[in-house]
Chain A
Amino acid sequence: MSLPDAEHLLVVLADQIRPRVGADTALVGLHTGGVWLAQRLHALLGLMQPAGSLDVSFYRDDYAKRGLARDTRSSSLPFEVEGRHLILVDDVLHTGRTVRAALNELFDYGRPLRVELAVLVDRGGRELPVAPTYCAATLDLPPGQRVKLAQDGDTLSLRLTGS
């Protein structure tokens, strides 16, 4: 199947977010694809606040089963979370478990005023009641198929991978 162009979707996503951006808005990218997206969106939207990043490995519900990820990175939120409008950014929304983990981690930093979710692609297959606030495209993929974001130089693209 042919996948939509990630660079185009990025522009669509930025257009969706732009009217809702305020002085207090900050982006938080989820490792790894979400961090690339958050950086690009940050430039496109000309935000004041630096973008943060979360690696939710320590909050995943499958930690006991799968063990710690080998390349867990430090989360970094270079702003006060308390009272802020935050937009979680991820490349692909699938089961919703990563978003659940991210929300849990976020609240250990403070109490944000509002948290929204921006994704490039919603591919269905939800296992938790999670819905995106901003979404550039929906894809209908069979359960075993995965799609993820790749970065080649400065260019983002979507790729299909096995299960």
Chain B
Amino acid sequence: MARNPQLNRHGELQHLLTTEGLPRDVITRILDTAEPFTVVAEREVKKLPLLRGKSVFNLFFENSTRTRTTFEIAAKRLSADVINLNISTSSTNKGETLLDTVDNLAAMQADMFVVRHASSGAPYLIAQHLEATGRDHIHVINAGDGRHAHPTQGLLDMYTIRHYKRDFTQLSVAVVGDILHSRVARSQIHALTTLGVPDLRAIAPKTLLPADIDRLGCRVFHDMAEGLRGVDVVMMLRLQNERMQGSLLPSPQEYFKFFGLTQEKLALAKPDAIVLHPGPMNRGVEIDSAVADGRQAVILPQVTFGIAVRMAVMAMLGSVEA
């Protein structure tokens, strides 16, 4: 596919697979579209008829109750029928391949697949397969694939930043933590770059940085005090407990000492800096409770905005002709 696989011939969003290479205009349009959706949650009837009669399949090949729930709520608020499949515990155990699973669900008249998979590129493979077999009326949303991308998380973070800070082109933003294993970090960094953030920093121990970090347009810091100085936005990443077993990190306590966000370290950022975290948080590992519950944290608003952003993506996909 020569063109951007996420866009159709008219440059409209056809699938959402990654924030990498997503034009600024499309990102801005998603954020703009999400805005009126935030109001819907405050109404008597929290539903809009946009996806009435459509079937959204949540295909979760990797467990994630939280992400699945937010997609489910978003689809239901748009009046879609939602079918949740935790495939890690069903057909693949019986030997069915990914694309056979997709073919079967497509035969059940699916309109949209929300895909979470442990392998990078799985949602892209599904989108490509659907197009190659003439079923490009079915849309694919990546809900997290391997270490590659988690675009709706990246976009809801952009929505949150824009809500509090308005203009991306004036901001200093630090992404802090396990960038190496983080699909969230990648999606954030690509989106922040596209939206014109002039000062983008990556703060992490050497062992938790990808080799190509310079090419992503980040300035690298191994010291929190240096990296946080004067930033407007601090984007914390979750330190996955399972990574603790290997040789990448000494111990949670030691990680917290150097890279955990405390009030003391946060005081080096601008006084009105905001703190984001994609959740679930490890209190006392990457973030101190005093910060997580403090006045600068916007972690719960992120969750609320996340539903509006996912509604926006689904609504835009649902109105696109193949």
Contacts and interface: CB of A to CB of B under 8 A. Distances in A.
Given A63-B319, A104-B49, A55 B36 contact: yes
B39 A75 contact: yes
Contact of A63 (B29, B33, B50): B50
Contact of B36 (A64, A66, A67, A72): A72
B41 to A, nearest CB: 12
B295 interface: no
A104 B49 CA distance: 9
A59 B48 contact: yes
Given A63-B50, A76-B39, A110 B44 contact: yes
B33 A58 contact: no
A68 B47 CA distance: 16
B45 interface: yes
A109 interface: yes
B278 interface: no
Contact of A74 (B35, B318, B320): B35
Interface string A55-81: 100110001101110111111100001
A51 B44 CA distance: 19
A152 interface: no
B45 A108 contact: yes
Contact of B33 (A72, A104, A108, A110): A72
A109 B45 CA distance: 6
B49 A58 contact: yes
Interface string A87-113: 000000000000000001001111000
Interface string B34-46: 0110110001110
A71 B50 CA distance: 16
A49 to B, nearest CB: 18
Contacts of A70: 29, 32
Interface size class on chain A is 20 to 34
B50 A58 contact: yes
B48 A68 contact: no
Contact of A59 (B12, B32, B49, B316): B49
A92 to B, nearest CB: 23
State the main secondary structure of chain A at its contact with B. Answer: loop
B320 A67 contact: yes
B7 interface: no
A67 B12 contact: yes
Contacts of B49: 58-59, 104
B36 A58 contact: yes
Interface string B20-33: 00000000010011
Contacts of A55: 36
A72 B50 CA distance: 14
Nearest to A77: B43
B202 to A, nearest CB: 34
B268 interface: no
B36 A73 contact: yes
A68 B33 contact: yes
Nearest to B49: A59
Nearest to B47: A108
Nearest to B54: A64
Contacts of A107: 45
Which residue among A68, A71, A74 has the maximum number of chain B CB atoms within 10 Å of its CB? A68
B195 interface: no
Contacts of A66: 319
20 contacts: A55-B36, A58-B49, A58-B50, A59-B48, A59-B49, A63-B319, A64-B318, A67-B319, A68-B50, A68-B319, A71-B32, A74-B36, A74-B39, A81-B44, A104-B49, A107-B45, A108-B44, A108-B45, A108-B47, A109-B43
Interface of B: 12, 29, 32-33, 35-36, 38-39, 43-45, 47-50, 315-316, 318-320
Interface of A: 55, 58-59, 63-64, 66-68, 70-76, 81, 104, 107-110
The 10 closest A-B pairs by CB, nearest first: A108-B45, A67-B319, A74-B36, A58-B48, A74-B39, A110-B44, A72-B36, A68-B319, A109-B44, A109-B43
